[in-house]
Amino acid sequence: MNSFSNKPGLIHVVRSLNTGGIERLLLQYLKVSKEKQWVVYIAEPHDLKDEFLKLSDRVELVFLDRSTLGLYGVMAAFKAMCEEVKPSGVICWFYPFHGLFGLMAKIAGVRRVLVHIGMVQKWNAKKAMLHLLGRLVGCREIAVSRRVMASIPKAYGLSSKSIRLVYNGVDLETFLNKNSVVFRKAPFIIGVVSRLDEHKDFDTLLQAMRLVCEKYNVLLRVAGTGSRRKELESKGNDYSVPIEWCGLLMDIPLFLNEIDIFVFPATPLEGLGVALIEAMACELPVLAPRDTVCEEIIEDHVSGLLFNYGDAGDLSRKILNCIEDKEMRKELSIGARARCEKQFSFHSMKNQYESLLGIGK
């Protein structure tokens, strides 16, 4: 075990230092925090480790390797860490294991534990037990959207009265449109920032792109990694869709400023979608599916366009509308930024978290 400073600070618990929305959200939280922070993670991959290490003057990384220590070993080490550090609070970004981490933190004398619930919930016996444990030990639950909040009583039969709604936020000073809503003539670039896994609906997007390519010279540019990368590359080739696979990128604002339209391939399990609000903050016209949390984020034809979930034909028509209607693109871009400024400010999110921890100003 490392030696920790006795100065009170926050301990953050996350599964890994992966490239997902939760990890990038935590990274942003740490960048704007001035107090000492600790980040506990228990598994690989460590794709963002170098980015976290850039904050080493005030952030300490603690790897409690579950594959070596086992679950009980991780919990024992975490309890010992809490007893030594005496943090002002714990934020668990690793749902539903907040129940176990919360129990250890409470035993160690930590007064306040928050849990970030970032996905729509469906019945799962293990998750139900851990969620209930979290409630029994007094973890304060934060749902990132109304859709997530509503899913908890449906999935587990638990009341939503104690759940606090706090939308994920975006740093409005970092995510800016630096091109003054300028659009290239050809190829028209459609961009995506996403994990390439089963939780995203890339199949509909690729089918829609095949239809769009029949009429216009377009390029699909994808930032992200994941288990479906090879499969999706093969499908893109089969559909003759020009795709630039960018892999893991650190400079997301730059990526967003080099595309014309953003498509968010959400599924009904999506909790909010950090990548979507980042694109909106950069004044991009955004397209996202109905029957998902995107209906809570986007006002159709004002701050973006909604298409029918799983309907490639509808998505292709909306993309074509954006390509052909320059005025609409501009209006959607401005509306997207305005929506973020009103509802999805990162500083507002951070202040609400710290208020719940009793450390807000």
* Each residue's pLDDT tens digit, 44-102: 878 889 999 999 999 999 999 999 999 999 999 999 999 999 999 999 999 999 999 99
Same domain, 220 and 319: yes
* Residue 210 vs residues 216, 242, 315, 330: alpha-carbon distances, Å: 10, 9, 11, 25
Q: How far apart are CA 92 and CA 113, in angstroms?
A: 7
Report pLDDT for 140: 94
Whether residue 113 lies inside any domain: the answer is yes
> pLDDT category, 360, cuts 50, 70, 90?
low
3-state secondary structure the chain: CCCCCCCCCEEEEECCCCCCHHHHHHHHHHHCCCCCEEEEECCCCCCCHHHHHCCCCCEEEEECCHHHHHHHHHHHHHHHHHHHHCCCEEEECCCCCHHHHHHHHHHCCCCCEEEEECECCCCCHHHHHHHHHHHHCCCEEEECCHHHHHHHHHHHCCCCCCCEECCCCECCCCCCCCCCCCCCCCCEEEEEECCCCCCCCHHHHHHHHHHHHCCCCEEEEEECCCCCHHHHHHHHHHCCCCEEEEECCCCHHHHHCCCCEEECCCCCCECCCHHHHHHHHCCCCEEEECCCCHHHHCCECCCEEEECCCCHHHHHHHHHHHHHCHHHHHHHHHHHHHHHHHHCEHHHHHHHHHHHCCCCC
Whether residue 1 lies inside any domain: the answer is no
Report pLDDT for 250: 87
> pLDDT category, 229, cuts 50, 70, 90?
very high
Asked whether residue 105 carries a pLDDT value surpassing 80, the answer given is: yes
Same domain, 216 and 161: no
Digit-coded pLDDT (tens) for 115-138: 999 999 999 999 999 999 999 999
Report pLDDT for 7: 53
Same domain, 201 and 301: yes
Full residue range of the structural domain in which residue 317 is found: 188-343
Average pLDDT over every residue of 177-204: 81
Report pLDDT for 267: 95
Q: What percent of the chain has pLDDT over 90?
A: 80
Asked whether residue 273 carries a pLDDT value surpassing 80, the answer given is: yes
Same domain, 145 and 227: no
Same domain, 350 and 339: no
Report pLDDT for 361: 54
Whether residue 174 lies inside any domain: the answer is no
Whether residue 238 lies inside any domain: the answer is yes
Same domain, 83 and 109: yes
Average pLDDT over every residue of 278-285: 96
> pLDDT category, 177, cuts 50, 70, 90?
confident
Same domain, 113 and 60: yes
Q: What percent of the chain has pLDDT over 70?
A: 95
Same domain, 334 and 351: no
Same domain, 18 and 134: yes
Same domain, 158 and 195: no
Total structural domains within the chain = 2
pTM: 0.91
Report pLDDT for 156: 92
Average pLDDT over every residue of 283-311: 97
CATH code for the domain in which residue 240 is found: 3.40.50.2000
Residue of 117, 120, 126, 169 whose CA lies nearest to 144: 117
